[in-house]
């Protein structure tokens, strides 16, 4: 059988930031869900000082796809090469390169190339991959530019926090409560509505209406990737107005006293909307507190109900 025809794309962008910073953003793949709009989750395994394996879940043409890539990092040359070891149809093969070059001091050109083939050289597959590659590449380059050019402000806009509860019951019962989001409207008082789609087992697409303490309701659209009885990772595809990014993970850790269930969050404030909620006098610091209290309040409520459910079932 002849080899599939290779297709090539190239995208570039100029960034008013140092080349070293741009390279570090691309190199730290575990942060891609925070920085790159299409990326939902990344598992990273370092093979040696210059090679790593990434298992990536990302949106492409409105679909969540996952694949495994091998990356070779060369910081001195400003290059990161990648090759998919396990691809998702209609992709038969995919490789490429990030090329970071400094134009002048504090100004960088970033180039992203892809070489790919479609399964069976199907023209519809080639069209689908080309559209996804072009769309995601343009989005990722724009995300990197925006991030690098406001890097000094990110320490104030991006932050992490978590809440935990100790559950004295088998791990699978706590996991069951958090996995079965379709039952949350009946189990959680702050969830007014939830629509769930799970076309692929363990990959959950959900739209949820959450009630706030003041009686208002806001809608979030999320995708979750479930690793049974270990963790559930998620990303809000449509976050609230105060956020540009909200990712999180539910983890389940065995301890001598029971199962420690933790809800961890990473958020990035939407700087343009600070002052719209909760009011015009809001600052970055007060908005951080407002967001943390709102999200943490819901997480703590969910954790309390998960604990009660698991321990009552164990009785």
Q: Which fold has domain 158-311?
A: Alpha-D-Glucose-1,6-Bisphosphate; Chain A, domain 4 (3.30.530)
Give per-residue pLDDT as tens, 217-264. 888 999 999 999 899 999 999 888 899 999 999 999 999 999 999 999
Q: Full-prediction pTM beyond 0.85?
A: yes
What's the CA gap between 178 and 161, in Å, rounded? 19
Q: What is the arithmetic mean of pLDDT over 128-142?
A: 97
DSSP per-residue codes, 158-197: EEEEEEEEEE-S-HHHHHHHHH-GGGHHHH-TTEEEEEEE
CATH 3.30.530.20 correct for 7-156: yes
Checking if the pLDDT of 315 tops 50, the result is no
Q: What are phi and psi of 37, to 5 degrees?
A: -55, -45
**Are domains 7-156 and 158-311 of this chain identical in fold?**
yes
| 3 state DSSP class of 21 | helix
Domain ranges across the chain: 7-156, 158-311
Give per-residue pLDDT as tens, 31-87. 999 999 999 999 999 888 899 999 999 999 999 999 999 999 999 999 999 999 999
């Amino acid at each position: 059988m002849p080899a599939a025809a290779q297709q090539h794309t190239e995208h570039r962008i100029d960034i008013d930031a140092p080349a070293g910073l741009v390279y570090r953003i691309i190199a730290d793949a575990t942060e891609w869900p925070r920085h790159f709009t299409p990326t939902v989750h990344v598992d990273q395994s370092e093979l040696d000082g210059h090679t790593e394996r990434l298992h990536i879940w990302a949106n492409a043409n409105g679909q969540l796809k996952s694949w495994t890539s091998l990356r070779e990092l060369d910081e001195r040359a400003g290059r990161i090469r990648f090759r998919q070891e396990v691809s998702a149809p209609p992709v038969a093969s995919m490789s490429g390169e990030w090329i970071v070059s400094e134009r002048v001091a504090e100004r960088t050109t970033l180039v992203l190339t892809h070489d790919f083939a479609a399964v069976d050289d199907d023209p519809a597959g080639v069209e689908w991959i080309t559209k996804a590659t072009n769309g995601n590449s343009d989005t990722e380059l724009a995300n990197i530019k925006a991030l690098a050019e406001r890097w000094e402000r990110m320490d104030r806009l991006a932050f992490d926090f978590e809440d935990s509860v100790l559950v004295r019951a088998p791990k699978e019962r706590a996991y069951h409560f958090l996995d079965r989001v379709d039952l949350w409207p009946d189990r959680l008082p702050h969830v007014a509505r939830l629509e769930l789609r799970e076309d692929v087992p363990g990959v959950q697409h959900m739209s949820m209406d959450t009630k706030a303490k003041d009686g208002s309701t806001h809608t979030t659209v999320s995708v979750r990737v479930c690793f049974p009885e270990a963790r559930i990772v998620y990303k809000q595809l449509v976050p609230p107005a105060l956020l540009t990014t909200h990712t999180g993970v539910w983890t389940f850790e065995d301890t001598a006293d029971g199962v420690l269930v933790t809800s961890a969050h990473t958020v990035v404030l939407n700087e343009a909307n600070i002052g719209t909620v909760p009011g015009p006098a809001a600052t970055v610091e007060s908005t951080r507190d407002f967001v943390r209290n709102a999200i943490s309040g819901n997480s703590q409520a969910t954790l309390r109900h998960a604990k009660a459910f698991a321990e009552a079932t164990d009785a």
